[in-house]
Amino acid sequence: MPNRPNNTSTGWSSTFNLDHSQCFLISMGFHPSVQIKPAGQKDSCVVTRSNFKNLYWTLTQQLAQHTINGCNLRPGDLLGTGTISGPEQDSLGCLLELTWNGQKPLSLNGTTRSFLEDGDEVTFIGCCKGDGYNVGFGTCTGKILPAP
């Protein structure tokens, strides 16, 4: 199946509850991206594009781990995957990785950023892509405000 990741290269031996070889995981076609609009700037810059195929643990494995000891999971509960970093420079999952711990600032519309600053806006965008379909999830934008 084209949307199933091959995360067997991790060297870990999967136990029965982490074996996802028989599962169809539509979410593995999920393509998140992040944009930053520096304070005072008109336009945003895409700083990373990744893919759920880059997850170290698949969604099925994370769900199994979450519930294995009896932790309840109900409709509407939110699961966070953590940082999704890919192998290429433009698919690293967080600003700390992208700037090598602040040592290599990013160029964003004529300004640079090693870390987010007051007034910066961050936008997350995601969609699932498959053979003949594209399902968008909209955007989520937040603005960095000064500490009180």
Beta bridge partners of 123: 35, 141
Q: Is 83 annotated as a binding residue?
A: yes
Tell me the H-state helices in 29-111.
59-67, 95-98
DSSP character for 55? -
Beta bridge partners of 135: 128
CB–CB of 105/113 below 8 Å? yes
Structure-token match 């699932």, residue found? 128
Q: How many CA atoms lie within 13 A of 39 on its CB side?
A: 11
Q: Binding site for substrate: which residues?
A: 83
Q: Binding site: which residues?
A: 83
